[in-house]
Amino acid sequence: MSAVALFPAIDLRDGHCVRLLRGDYGQETVYGDDPVSQALAFQAAGAPWVHVVDLDAARSGDPVNRPFVAAIAAALDIPVQAGGGIRSIDAAAELFAAGVRRVVLGTAAVERPGLVGEVASLGAVAVGLDVRGREVAVHGWTESSGLLLGPALRQFEGLGAEALVVTQIEQDGTLEGPDIGMYREALEATGLDVVASGGVGTPGHLDDLAALDVDGRRLAGVIVGRALYEGNVDVADAIGRLSGRGGTP
């Protein structure tokens, strides 16, 4: 059984490591002011990736946290996946030049799907689909796109993306459990790799995601944020559970 990759999350606002509750910028918890040290700690614990989001840029388009993203990529020996406010090929090129392994296009991909192929000519691309219920949201989760998840998933096949990062906004930051049904629908709807995000709060939630199987296809990865910062989930234990080896004793 192939391993489901763990993506510890670092969400940035004003250079701080934060988490939002259900995408609400007014419900923010700050977990630290040294994102590079946090990324190095995830690496030291065995994480195979680090997932970084510039929340300021996601909402405004202004990449105020890009120096921090670049510093994280420069400090790590493991690959970095970065998103938030990447709305042009030039912005993606800057991140690739800074050492980011894979960029995540969200709003820009939904509004201009052709950008995916343009950026894919430079490096690895994932499309981020942030979903409230089953409707895709844009501009830092603040606006509805009118596009439903199923058609969105099918729309991005063949455009150059190597993965889809699917976030259930209603679960994100709640620790109440992931939307398993939505991820099953995603695996049924697309042949692209699917990375799940939103709601993991316990080791058992990771077991549920690791067990998800649709005609032999499993999730490619799981993004975990608040559960790691709160101590509900341990990086090494999470890796074991997602790999099929079970949790650490």
What CATH number does residue 19 fall under? 3.20.20.70
State how many domains the chain has: 1
Range of the domain at 84: 5-243
CA distances from 174 to 131, 198, 247 (A): 15, 8, 22
- Considering the candidates 11, 172, 179, 193, report the single residue annotated as catalytic: 11
Q: What is the pLDDT of residue 27?
A: 81
Residue 42 domain flag: yes
Residue 227's H or E segment, with its range, is helix 226-229
77 is catalytic: no
pLDDT number for residue 28: 75
pLDDT of residue 222: 98
Q: Tell the residue number behind the tokens 């949790």, with chain if given.
A: 247
| Beta strand 5-13 pairing with 221-224 | parallel
Q: Is 67 exposed, middle or buried (0-12, 13-18, 19+ CB in 10 A)?
A: exposed
Whether 208 is catalytic:
no
pLDDT in tens, the chain (249 residues): 568 999 999 999 999 999 888 777 778 788 999 999 999 999 999 999 999 999 988 887 788 899 999 999 999 999 999 999 899 999 999 999 999 999 999 989 999 999 999 999 999 999 999 999 899 988 766 678 889 999 999 999 999 999 999 999 999 889 999 999 999 999 999 999 999 999 999 999 999 999 999 999 999 999 999 999 999 999 999 999 998 766 654
Is residue 141 assigned to a domain?
A: yes
Query: Is residue 213 one of the residues assigned to a domain?
Result: yes
16 within some domain: yes
For residue 177, the SS3 value is coil
Torsional class of 168: left (φ above 0), alpha (ψ -120 to 50), beta (otherwise):
beta
Residue 178 lies in a domain: yes
Is residue 249 a part of any domain in this protein? no
Within a domain: 32: yes
* Number of helical H runs and strand E runs in the chain: 11, 12
Catalytic one of 54, 56, 130, 193: 130
On whether residue 113 sits in a domain, the answer given is: yes
